[in-house]
Amino acid sequence: MDNSPSVLMMMGAFLLVLGPLVVLHELGHYLVGRLFGVRAEAFAVGFGKELAGWTDKRGTRWKLCALPLGGYVQFAGDMNAASVPDPALADASREELRGTFQGAKLWQRSLIVLAGPLMNLFVAVAIFAAFNLAYGVPTASPEVGGFSDNSPAKVAGLKEGDRIVAIDGDRIETFFDIAERVTLNPGKTVTVTYQRGGIETSVPITLLTDVQHDQFGNELRRGLLGVRSAGMKFEDVGPVGAVTAGFDQSLGIVRTMVEGLRQIITGERSVEELGGPIKIAKYSGERLSLGWLEFVSFAALISINLAFINLLPIPTLDGGHLVFYAAEAVRRKPLGARSQEWAFRTGLAFVLGLMLFVTLNDLASLPIFGK
């Protein structure tokens, strides 16, 4: 742990990565709401007591708050920062609802809510696109160029020059697709389809379990097929190609997150792998200590995480709101105020409980507790 950054660097890096991403997330809500004529009463960076702020000509209070661990935009018609509808407007007329969030059409409300996570995805795609423009898009064919020691692929009969075309039925287009399919599955038996001389052959292969530690002492446990690429190159692309590749790279990360969450829910992976604010701060400091390119790449990953988490169908999160709107579309009327209130309370309790759990999980992983 000698290479670990200082606590001060971790805290600074944590605020530097999370603060702008949360502000941009809320800005997505704000901009689309403004586009549809919904008034924003407050736009806050952080929570708690207001430290500084101003009110613009539209009546929106822009403020910096004491606890810089998030932010929110509160639209007219919201009872609080969690966007719980104000029950006082339940029987309001259309004229009284003009300019409020509840007065917007269903599809408009859905887009306003969706805009936050989409902004985070846009940020990640933009970061990857910038890297692709500057350095080129990494490309590598799924052709086997060699084998690692104790390679299970070699034992199964694969040879240099074979082209891997599928793993468990999922088509493989590039060598990076192989890593995406096997990294989260150490010790699992997968079906690998490869092509040799125009003939496709499928064989079962049990992946290696590879455990490594980086320079900061973090343990990385991954599955390995035991094959090496025949060669990687960086392909120069224009703006459109850079954005397209950035979108594909972001989707690859989303797929990995979905699979990782599925494995934790089903018990295939330990809940100890869930990270909270302390681990994010730790990793933020470590990435910053390695340089700005590493740090910005990490910011893209966290931005995708924010989008993914906010889209989970949990009341108080954006995904929970979208579930309510889907129910409203089916029922042709909003859920009752009492039902929404209890759903928000339950969702808030779940989110707070989850935050407490991952924070305790983070603390238990610290060296002072023997890990």
Asked if residues 121 and 303 have their Cβ atoms less than 8 Å apart, the reply is yes
Which of these is catalytic: 26, 41, 160, 341?
A: 26
Instruction: Establish whether 26 is a catalytic residue.
Output: yes
Count of residues in the chain? 371
- Report d(CA 127, CA 148) in Å as an integer: 33
φ and ψ at residue 24, rounded to 5 degrees: -65, -35
- Report d(CA 79, CA 344) in Å as an integer: 12
Number of Cβ within 10 Å of residue 182's Cβ equals 23
SS3 of the chain: the string is CCCCCCHHHHHHHHHHHHHHHHHHHHHHHHHHHHHCCCCEEEEEEEEEEEEEEEECCCCCEEEEEEEEEEEEEEECCECCCCCCECHHHCCCCCCCCCCCCCCCCHHHHHHHHHHHHHHHHHHHHHHHHHHHHHHCEEECCCEEEEECCCCHHHHCCCCCCCEEEEECCEECCCHHHHHHHHCCCCCCEEEEEEEECCEEEEEEEECEEEEEECCCCCEEEEEECCEEECCCEEECCCHHHHHHHHHHHHHHHHHHHHHHHHHHHCCCCCHHHCCCHHHHHHHHHHHHHCCHHHHHHHHHHHHHHHHHHHCCCCCCCHHHHHHHHHHHHHHCCCCCHHHHHHHHHHHHHHHHHHHHHHHHHHHHCCHHHCC
The catalytic site residues sit at 26
